[in-house]
């Protein structure tokens, strides 16, 4: 049985494997990398700013001067927070530079295993499997100039899109199937990275220590879920109140918030 990739222990076990990591980066970012080492819980010392950031998975390819960071998110999330993570890996490089140059291209990949929630800034619900953001400037004609090339990539397998290319599809299906169909996952085993995960990421392959850590992770997730459920209800109610004030009809409010009409 495939181990659930919304569990931090299993996720790190799978994606710190060199075969898996290199195949994942090749498919999602489109580049070949050969990192010297793949780290977990990576933190910069001294800290950049006052926030103590830690990256779930962090690796550098010194030959190509590339930084790859992967974050796994299972509950609520904050897009501003992910932007901070991404920019910190860029800013950190300037500490050793005398001319403010950023020599390494940074790719941040966010794997989100929970459905998106109502965006507090826009009141929108995003339903995208893949979102890609970069900071390259555009001229007044809308032509983008590839000056920086850093990318922030979001993957969310909860919104299956028939137009998603196969290179993304393989990994999105892996994450989704590991959570919703771990006993008989429907995967593309022709992808060497996916096949490797099925070899090392099964319940039978776990060490006693990994079993113990995974059980702790499950209990921690239950506690956070209860806390976030209370927070979620309050937030959605506030959003619904604003929509009522703005004159939106009950059916539209129900579609956006998930609340019952009686509650609205």
Backbone phi, then psi, for 202, in 5-degree steps? Answer: -100, 160
Residue 147 CB neighbour total at 10 angstroms: 10
Residues in the chain, total: 264
pLDDT in single tens digits along all 264 residues of the chain = 898 898 888 999 999 999 999 999 999 999 999 998 999 988 877 666 666 678 889 999 988 888 898 888 876 567 888 888 898 888 888 776 566 677 889 999 999 988 776 666 777 778 899 999 999 999 999 999 999 889 999 999 999 999 999 999 999 999 999 999 999 999 999 999 999 999 998 877 777 777 677 766 665 555 455 445 555 555 677 777 877 886 777 877 776 667 788 888
Q: State how far the Cα of 176 lies from the Cα of 174, in Å rounded to an integer.
A: 6
Of 262, 243, 263, which Cα lies nearest the Cα of 252?
243
Q: What is the pTM of this model?
A: 0.78
CB 19 within 8 A of CB 52: no
Bridge partners of 134, per DSSP, are 151
Q: State how far the Cα of 251 lies from the Cα of 253, in Å rounded to an integer.
A: 5
Nearest 5°: the CA angle 233, 74, 181 is 110
Q: Name the residue with tokens 């006993």.
A: 183
- The tokens describing 43, both together, are 């933190």
């Amino acid at each position: 049985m495939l181990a659930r990739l919304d569990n931090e222990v299993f996720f790190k076990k799978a994606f710190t494997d060199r075969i898996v990591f290199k195949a994942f980066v090749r498919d999602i970012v489109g580049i070949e990398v050969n990192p010297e080492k793949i780290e977990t819980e990576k933190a910069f010392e001294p800290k950049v700013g006052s926030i103590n950031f830690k990256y779930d998975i962090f690796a550098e390819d010194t030959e190509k001067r590339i930084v790859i960071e992967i974050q796994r998110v299972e509950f609520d999330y904050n897009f501003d927070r992910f932007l901070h993570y991404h920019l910190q890996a860029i800013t950190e490089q300037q500490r050793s530079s005398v001319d403010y140059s950023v020599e390494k291209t940074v790719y941040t990949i966010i794997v989100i295993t929970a459905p998106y929630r109502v965006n507090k800034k826009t009141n929108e619900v995003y339903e995208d499997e893949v979102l890609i953001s970069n900071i390259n400037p555009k001229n007044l004609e809308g032509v983008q100039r590839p000056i920086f090339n850093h990318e922030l990539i979001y993957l969310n397998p909860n919104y299956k899109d028939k137009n998603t290319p196969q290179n993304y599809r393989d990994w999105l299906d892996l994450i989704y199937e590991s959570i919703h169909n771990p006993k008989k996952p429907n995967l593309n085993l022709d992808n060497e990275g996916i096949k490797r995960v099925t070899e090392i990421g099964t319940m039978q392959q776990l060490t006693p220590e990994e079993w113990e850590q995974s059980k702790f992770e499950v209990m921690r997730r239950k506690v956070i879920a209860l806390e976030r459920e209370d927070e979620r209800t309050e937030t959605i109610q506030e959003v619904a109140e604003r929509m009522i004030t703005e004159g939106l009809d009950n059916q539209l409010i129900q579609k956006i918030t998930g609340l019952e009409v009686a509650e609205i």
